[in-house]
Every structure is written in structure tokens, then in C-alpha cells.
């Protein structure tokens, strides 16, 4: 059974922080006698001197320094517990599950999550980066609370978020650019296409032109970009992920006779907007704010 209380340790800390019993009493609005009694009880119960008075100021002993460090951790944890309990009583979610399509701008996602962290520091976030219909599948299975996707599943409503432009690109030294002319489908079919696999585990949805005989399929947009940078093929890639590479000349748009660019609309979808908690709603609003600054990319 504990022989000390959290309040006693708070009073002990106040004496140290404010330099004396009288100063602590004034700072934390307690009587000096109650603070004296609390600190004396801490010391007498353990036969351990925590403070010594030097002149008119209370100073820590070596043992007091160690106990103060441990007490500080205990007090902070108790304060966090109060904050968490208060948030839960107001309906704050202990955990938020969100699936975001990989083509959503990463810097926008990071900024939205950073703001959410400041406002809901004790809500855990489980983030899944999905491709094509993978996020929709998770929504249908009840595995996510919030979804950013280009394919809103049946029975749900999606709020328009932004448009993302896909561009057919390859390394500047790729053989397709070496042809020195406008390219057609036959030109593409003779080269390797890098395709990002739908992250759904059930029925998958292929997207875009898939006519290359040497098609390679990968799981993530970042893998596709890395391969294209090394001259290993061509792909339609989102401007949200390759804008800098194009500007710096690491990638180059293919001069197709038609269809070198296409747009995909992204939507924000709630599992249940009526039951969504404060953190879920706030993250949705933050994602909308970030997307509004771009509109399209």
C-alpha cells in the first residue's frame, strides 16, 4: 500500500520550484502549514531527508534530487491521464484509422497530421497508404474511419478533395526519347511499363493503359518512381510525386500523340459522418484545407 500521495509530491515539487515553503504556499494557494506537514510526512515515512534549509531557502539533498526526478515523471503522467480522460468524456477518439491514396500530396498529409497531433495529442493514428481501390475495400470492411480515394465505394458519399494529374514519363535517356518523334501505342508496347498494383486484396481494379508486353508491377508509387529514375521503363506517375523530378530534369514527359496526361479526382469519405468523433472530423477538415491550397496538381 502506498504511503505517499500524489498531492504530497506536488507540494514537495512546489517547495523546490519556488524556493521555500512560504513561496510555495503562495504559488499553489495552499497554507504553509499544510505544505510543511506534507513534506515532513514524506521524509519521516521513509526516514529520508529530501530538503535542507540553507539560509532562508530550501534546497534539495542528493536523495531529494533523485526523488524529485521520479516524482516529476509521476506527476506528468497523472496530468496526462487527466487530459486523456477529459478528452474521452468529450467524445475524443482514442484511435483514428485513416486510409490515404498514395497520390495525395505527402507534404499536405504531413502538415494535416502535424496539426492534428497538436490539437489531439493523445489520439493514436493508424495510417494506411493505399493504391486505387485498396482504401475503398478497407472502408467496406469497416477497417477505417476516414478515407481519401479516387474510387468511392457504393453506399458512401465522397466530398471532392482535389484533382491529380498523371503524366507519362521516363528517364531523359530512355530509348523512347531517343526516337526523336511523337510516340504511338506501338512504340510503348515495345518497352517496359512500370505499373503500381492495386492494394486491394479482393477484386483489383487496373487503371490506365496496360499494353506493354514487358510490364512490371510494383506495390508502391515510390518504387515505380525509383525504377523510372534508373531508366528501367516508363510509367504514368502523379504530379504530386514527380513535380520536382520533372523540374530538375531527372524525369521527362513522353511526347505521346495522345493520352500522355490524365486526371484523377480524389474524394474525402467518412465511414459514418454522423458518428465521426472530433478527431476524425478535424482531420477531414485539415485535409480539405490542405487540398484547397492546391486544388489540382
Q: Are 101 and 198 in contact (CB under 8 A)?
A: no
Q: How many CA atoms lie within 13 Å of 263's alpha carbon, on the beta-carbon side?
A: 6
Task: Kindly compute the dihedral angle of the four CA atoms of residues 297, 112, 229, 150, in this order, to the nearest 10 degrees.
Answer: -60
Q: Between the CA of residue 196 and those of 69, 103, 207, 208, what are the distances in Å?
A: 52, 11, 9, 11
Residue-level length of the chain: 297
Task: Give strand pairing partners of 160.
Answer: 267
Domains of the chain: 6-89 (1.10.10.10), 96-297 (3.40.190.290)
The pLDDT mean for the chain works out to 87
Residue range 128-174, pLDDT digits in tens: 999 888 889 999 999 999 999 998 989 999 999 999 999 999 999 99
Residue range 171-218, pLDDT digits in tens: 999 999 999 999 999 999 999 999 998 887 666 665 666 677 788 999
Would you place residue 223 in the very low, low, confident or very high pLDDT band (cuts 50, 70, 90)? very high
pLDDT reported for residue 82: 65
Handedness of CA 29, 32, 37, 39 (dihedral sign): positive
Query: Has residue 49 got a pLDDT over 90?
Result: no
pLDDT reported for residue 297: 56
Q: What percent of the chain has pLDDT over 70?
A: 90
Among 76, 109, 34, 104, smallest CA distance to 296 is for 104
Query: 177 exposed, middle or buried (CB, 10 Å; 0-12, 13-18, 19+)?
Result: middle
Amino acid at each position: 500500500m502506498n504511503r505517499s500521495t500524489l498531492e504530497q509530491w506536488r507540494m514537495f515539487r512546489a517547495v523546490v520550484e519556488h524556493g521555500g515553503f512560504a513561496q510555495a504556499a503562495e504559488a499553489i494557494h495552499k497554507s504553509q502549514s499544510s505544505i510543511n506537514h506534507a513534506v515532513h510526512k514524506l521524509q519521516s515515512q521513509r526516514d529520508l531527508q529530501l530538503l535542507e534549509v540553507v539560509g532562508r531557502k530550501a534546497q534539495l539533498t542528493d536523495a531529494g534530487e533523485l526523488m524529485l526526478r521520479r516524482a516529476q515523471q509521476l506527476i506528468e503522467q497523472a496530468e496526462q491521464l487527466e487530459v486523456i480522460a477529459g478528452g474521452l468524456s468529450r467524445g475524443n477518439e482514442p484511435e483514428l484509422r485513416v486510409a490515404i491514396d498514395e497520390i495525395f500530396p505527402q507534404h499536405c498529409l504531413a502538415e494535416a497530421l502535424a496539426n492534428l497531433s497538436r490539437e489531439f495529442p493523445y489520439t493514436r493514428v493508424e495510417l494506411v497508404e493505399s493504391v486505387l481501390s485498396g482504401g475503398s475495400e478497407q472502408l467496406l470492411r469497416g477497417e477505417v474511419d476516414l478515407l481519401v480515394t479516387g474510387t468511392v465505394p457504393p453506399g458512401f458519399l465522397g466530398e471532392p478533395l482535389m484533382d491529380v494529374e498523371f503524366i507519362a514519363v521516363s528517364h531523359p535517356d530512355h530509348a523512347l526519347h531517343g526516337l526523336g518523334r511523337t510516340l504511338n501505342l506501338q512504340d510503348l508496347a515495345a518497352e517496359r511499363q512500370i505499373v503500381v498494383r492495386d492494394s486491394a486484396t479482393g477484386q483489383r481494379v487496373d487503371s490506365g493503359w496496360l499494353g506493354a508486353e514487358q510490364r512490371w508491377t510494383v506495390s508502391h508509387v515510390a518504387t515505380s518512381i525509383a525504377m523510372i529514375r534508373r531508366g528501367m521503363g516508363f510509367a504514368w506517375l502523379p504530379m504530386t510525386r514527380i513535380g520536382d523530378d520533372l523540374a530538375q530534369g531527372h524525369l521527362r514527359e513522353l511526347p505521346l500523340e495522345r493520352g500522355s496526361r490524365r486526371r484523377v479526382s480524389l474524394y474525402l469519405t467518412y465511414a459514418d459522418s454522423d458518428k465521426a468523433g472530433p478527431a476524425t472530423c478535424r482531420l477531414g477538415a485539415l485535409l480539405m484545407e490542405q487540398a484547397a491550397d492546391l486544388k489540382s496538381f
